[in-house]
Amino acid sequence: MVRLVSVVNQKGGVGKTTTVANLSHMLALRGNKVAAIDFDPQGSLTVSLGKNSRSLSGMDEVLLEGAGIDEVMHEVRDNLQLVACGPQLAACEQKLENTSAVAKRLRKTLKNLVDYDYVLLDCPPSSGFLVVSALYATEEILIPVAGDFLALHGMSHLMGTLAQFESSLKLKHKRWIVVTRFHPRRRLSQGVIDNLVEHFPATVLKTPIRETSALAEGPSFGLTISEYRNKSNGSADYEKLAVDFCKGRTIQ
């Protein structure tokens, strides 16, 4: 059964796109069939996986033109398909009058991806139309949280916003948290994990992602961390995270 996952955080700079790119690839390397969907008009996921975000058709055609999602899929790695954002995704909210119909179209589109094991949507850092549509169309939420005080400070607001969405949409998602930009030698980073576990039990995935320059460098070459520097801390962490995510392993 396909797992439909929105990767969200209203705060930028928390490793959201990095997590979608690397987790998707690690899941694919484990033999899973994965679709990574760039649902952020900035197109960072598309670039991170080695494609030109301005030239590829993608989710904009699915939402605006009613194209089938299979028509805009691009195989970027073994077992890994990319759906780009498309150049017109940012205009969707302005061009579409019936936004609820679009959300329902997205939901139907994703639920038809029955041949996949995982579908991950890289959502924009906002709480606008695209994020609401993604939440309506998926069943799980993955929240990357940077291991610093300000990121933790925003979590209560984010969780409150998600609760409002779920109430209005009459949905209930399975939630996961992944701690990114983690510094194991800093007491603050461990404190962030402890606070998250206390307030959101059975939600924080077991493996935090350690801060490493390789994770920031890889996207400029269109490479995931396992391709760019497969002996790095980042590669080891995302490999373990993929197992955590598959098996639902959290910090107890």
pLDDT the model gives residue 11? 83
Tokens in use for 22? 């690397």
Say whether pLDDT at 101 is over 80.
Answer: no
Q: pLDDT class for 98, splitting at 50, 70, 90?
A: low
pLDDT the model gives residue 106? 92
Mean pLDDT value of segment 223-238: 97
Is 3-246 a domain of CATH 3.40.50.300?
yes
Q: Please answer whether residues 26 and 241 qualify as being in contact, where contact means their C-beta atoms are separated by less than 8 angstroms.
A: yes
Q: Where are the domains of the chain?
A: 3-246
Q: Which tens digits make up the pLDDT trace of 198-208?
A: 989 999 999 99
Q: Which tens digits make up the pLDDT trace of 47-94?
A: 999 998 778 889 999 988 889 999 999 999 999 999 999 988 888 766
pTM (two decimals): 0.95
| SS3 category, 3 | strand
Q: Which tens digits make up the pLDDT trace of 151-198?
A: 777 788 888 888 888 888 888 999 999 999 999 888 888 888 999 999
pLDDT the model gives residue 90? 82
Which distant-in-sequence residues (6+ apart) come within 8 Å of 205 by Cβ?
176, 177, 178, 179, 241, 244, 245, 249, 250, 251
Q: pLDDT class for 128, splitting at 50, 70, 90?
A: confident
Which distant-in-sequence residues (6+ apart) come within 8 Å of 156 by Cβ?
none
Q: Please answer whether residues 152 and 196 qualify as being in contact, where contact means their C-beta atoms are separated by less than 8 angstroms.
A: yes
Q: Which tens digits make up the pLDDT trace of 11-32?
A: 888 899 999 999 999 999 999 9
At residue 146, what are phi and psi to the nearest 5 degrees? -70, 145
pLDDT the model gives residue 93? 65
Cβ neighbours around 145 below 10 Å, total:
27
